[in-house]
């Protein structure tokens, strides 16, 4: 986090603001994020702050910057660079919960550049 950013609001305030602005309810946010409705309510009451993984899900569901949602004085608009960070965050989240995915990532990391190039070609073809 940039030390020049000032926290000017709470996550509770920002979540409440976005629910009002979008017309969404806590139940809608729970469905879109996969978080429990009770967890969303705890965020909305300020009982707890979301952890990084939950914050990512909330920011994506509300289409706002995670930094803004944390309450910092930045634009609420998602920045272009955040898409790259989202990919990395989603990969880490999946590696934590999916041993097969983690094994594939470990195997890719162990490849030399020639074999990695072949793997990239195969994965690219599979995406189509």
- Quick count: other Cβ atoms within 10 Å of Cβ 45? 10
pLDDT at position 79 is 82
Q: Give how far the C-alpha of residue 22 lies from the chain's centroid of Cα atoms, to the nearest Å.
A: 19
Q: Which range among 1-15, 21-35, 112-126 shows the weakest confidence by mean pLDDT?
A: 1-15
- The pLDDT assigned to 93 comes to 84
**Residue 36 near residue 48 (C-beta atoms within 8 A):** no
Query: 7 in helix, strand or coil?
Result: strand
pLDDT of residue 2 exceeding 90: no
Arithmetic mean of pLDDT, 101-124: 94
CATH of the domain spanning 11-69? 1.10.260.40
Q: Please identify which residue in the block is written with the tokens 């709470």.
A: 10
**107 CB-contact burial (10 Å; exposed 0-12 / middle 13-18 / buried 19+):** exposed
3 pLDDT tier (thresholds 50, 70, 90): low
What 3 state SS string does 37-103 have?
A: HHHHHHHHHCCCCCCHHHHHHHHHHHCCCHHHHCCECCCCCCCHHHHHHHHHHHHHHHHHHCHHHHH
Task: Tell me the pLDDT tens digit for each residue of 44-86.
Answer: 999 999 998 899 999 999 999 999 999 999 999 988 888 888 8
Name the more confident of 31 and 87. Answer: 31
Q: What is the pLDDT of residues 9-55, one digit of tens each?
A: 999 999 999 999 999 999 999 999 999 999 999 999 999 999 988 99
Domain ranges within the chain, ordered by starting residue: 11-69, 80-127
């Amino acid at each position: 986090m940039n030390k020049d950013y000032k926290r000017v609001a709470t996550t509770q305030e920002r979540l409440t603001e976005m629910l009002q602005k979008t017309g969404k309810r806590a139940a809608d946010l729970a469905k879109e994020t996969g978080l429990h409705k009770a967890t969303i309510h705890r965020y909305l009451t300020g009982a707890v702050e979301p952890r990084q993984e939950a914050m990512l899900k909330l920011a994506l569901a509300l289409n706002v910057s995670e930094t803004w949602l944390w309450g910092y004085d930045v634009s609420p608009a998602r920045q272009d660079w955040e898409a790259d960070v989202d990919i990395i965050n989603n990969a880490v989240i999946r590696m934590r919960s999916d041993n097969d995915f983690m094994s594939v990532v470990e195997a890719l990391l162990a490849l030399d550049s020639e074999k990695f190039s072949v793997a990239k070609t195969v994965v690219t073809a599979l995406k189509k």
